[in-house]
């Protein structure tokens, strides 16, 4: 294993080290200061949707503890903070009257970041769609893309002067596949029609919001965050290799194609085009030149060919072969998938520079005498930083890394039982305790700073 100091020396001087969170996962204060419910507020209160009925009502109470949390980041030496802005705090009904108290919160938060020397990397949407918009069809309705552009305009007018970079949407795959096709995340749809409509609406919302943000601040570096899948055939059979290519297009090309080349993959259009309401000019709107993009990576996907009569992409996801290391959420640890994916994406698409906007691991180590010795997480991070360096050596322009996550938080359908943080949170007392991985990361960032 490389020491943090040795690892740090291998990154260029201008490489950025940060941490990441998301609004619904940490803020709490769900009904505070004019915020109205999001689809996750509703979904988490439906029996059987979230582990033990956990909700984000309180979460990490970041809404009230934000100053301490920023101090915590500063104590770890990180240089940038990636967070999300809660749409229902700004526009409680998704459109219409602006909630000034919501904007005031992010005003204070961003000012606090600037005062502490933290670079400001907000994301406009990390899954908390205002519930009122769900009544209009949510992400299946074209009107939601238009409302999102209006929201972007409002946010950038008030807060954009202090942003270092802005992302439009976080992980459209989760919003479309996981939420509208598989039914695992809010709103819990299991409909091919809803999925296809949501895909195009999300892509359109991205393009429209880039236009809206740039109309306010033309020099604001704009990006999009994608949790691209590193897809491998589970066997050496040619039919499984073909299935892996179909899966790649279904999970990745469906977003990378329109956003970076101005067109959906042919096979995606063949399977879903009639359900996507693609209108004249839409693809030009979606295909906005970006200053950067973000990759979220955790684990690879392995597939075999499904039966010929199966639905597109006719690829069945299979568990890894016996023996691989798994995190506590059951995800395979395979850092080669990280570097392979980066190189593959840059081979296939004309991409701008990249930030790793999320990477990390779920290990549920409990405190022992006040100490959380999460050696497995440190090992995971070392391997994945090595993968980033491997990709950079191959010419991939990775400019920075945001560790997921700063602290344990509401892990969506898994509730509070899965912990991704480098800082432990006691949800009863809201006490934050840095884990061994936090000390390791601080040493890495400090060594990089000294080496510059």
**Residues recognised as catalytic:** 171, 358
Per the document, the length of the chain is 452
- Can you name the residues that pair with 20 across neighbouring β-strands? 82, 404
Q: Measured between alpha carbons, how far is residue 428 from residues 65, 224, 255, 366 in Å?
A: 14, 35, 40, 14
Distance CA 247, CA 232 (A): 9
Calpha distance 137→139 (Å, rounded): 6
Whether residue 26 contacts residue 62, with contact meaning beta carbons closer than 8 Å, is answered with yes
To the nearest 10°, report the CA torsion of 82, 86, 89, 93: 160
Other CB atoms within a 10 A radius of the CB of residue 287 amount to 18
Rounded CA separation 434/48 (Å): 32
Place of tokens 């296939």: 348
Given a contact cutoff of 8 angstroms between Cβ atoms, the answer to whether 384 and 334 are in contact is no
Distance between CA atoms of residues 129 and 127, nearest Å: 6
- First-to-last C-alpha distance (Å) of the chain: 22
**Got the DSSP string for 81-107?**
EEEE--HHHHSTTSSSS--HHHHHHHH
Residue 107 in contact with residue 85, Cβ under 8 Å? Answer: no
- Measured CA to CA, the distance from residue 9 to residue 135 in angstroms comes to 52
Nearest to 448 by CA among 2, 6, 1: 6
How far, in Å, CA of 182 to CA of 174, rounded? Answer: 10
Residue with tokens 């090595």: 386
Tokens of 260: 């970076």
Which residue carries 């969506």 as its tokens?
412
68 in helix, strand or coil? Answer: helix
Residue-wise over 366-375: b if at least 16 C-beta within 10 A, else e? eeeeeebebe
């Amino acid at each position: 294993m490389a020491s943090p100091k040795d690892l740090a020396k291998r990154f260029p001087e201008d490489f950025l080290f940060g941490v990441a969170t998301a609004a619904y996962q940490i803020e709490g204060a769900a009904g505070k200061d004019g915020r109205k419910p999001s689809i996750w507020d509703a979904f988490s209160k439906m029996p059987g949707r979230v582990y033990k009925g956990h909700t984000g009502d309180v979460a990490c109470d970041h809404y009230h503890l934000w100053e301490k949390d920023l101090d915590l980041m500063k104590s770890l030496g990180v240089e940038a903070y990636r967070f999300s802005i809660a749409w229902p705090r700004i526009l409680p009904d998704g459109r219409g009257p602006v909630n000034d108290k919501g904007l005031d919160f992010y005003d204070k938060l961003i000012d606090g970041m600037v005062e502490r020397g933290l670079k400001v990397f907000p994301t406009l949407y990390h899954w908390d769609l205002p519930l009122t918009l769900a009544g209009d069809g949510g992400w299946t309705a074209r009107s939601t893309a238009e409302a999102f552009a209006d929201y972007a305009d409002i946010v950038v007018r008030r807060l954009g002067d202090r942003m270092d970079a802005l992302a439009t949407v976080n992980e459209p795959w989760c919003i479309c596949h996981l939420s509208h096709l598989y039914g695992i995340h809010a709103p819990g749809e299991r409909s091919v029609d809803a999925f296809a409509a949501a895909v195009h609406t999300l892509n359109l919302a991205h393009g429209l919001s880039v236009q809206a943000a740039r109309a306010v601040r033309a020099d604001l570096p704009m990006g999009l965050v994608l949790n691209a899948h590193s897809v491998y055939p589970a066997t050496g059979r040619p039919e499984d290799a073909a299935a892996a290519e179909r899966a790649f297009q279904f999970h990745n090309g469906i977003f990378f194609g329109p956003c970076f080349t101005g067109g959906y993959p042919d096979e995606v259009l063949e399977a879903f085009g009639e359900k996507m309401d693609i209108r004249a000019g839409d693809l030009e709107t979606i295909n906005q030149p970006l200053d950067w993009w973000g990759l979220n990576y955790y684990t690879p996907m392995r597939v075999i060919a499904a039966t010929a009569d199966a639905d597109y992409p006719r690829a069945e996801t299979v568990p890894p072969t016996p023996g691989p290391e798994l995190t506590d959420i059951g995800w395979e640890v395979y850092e080669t998938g990280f570097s392979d994916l980066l190189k593959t994406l840059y081979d296939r698409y004309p991409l701008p520079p990249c930030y790793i906007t999320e990477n990390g691991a779920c290990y549920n180590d409990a405190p022992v005498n006040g100490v959380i010795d999460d050696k497995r997480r440190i090992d995971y991070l070392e391997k994945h930083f090595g993968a980033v360096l491997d990709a950079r050596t191959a010419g991939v322009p990775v400019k920075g890394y945001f560790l997921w996550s700063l602290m344990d938080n509401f892990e969506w359908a898994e509730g509070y039982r899965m912990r991704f943080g480098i800082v432990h949170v006691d949800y009863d007392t809201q006490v934050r305790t840095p884990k061994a991985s936090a000390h390791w990361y601080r040493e890495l960032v400090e060594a990089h700073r000294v080496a510059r």
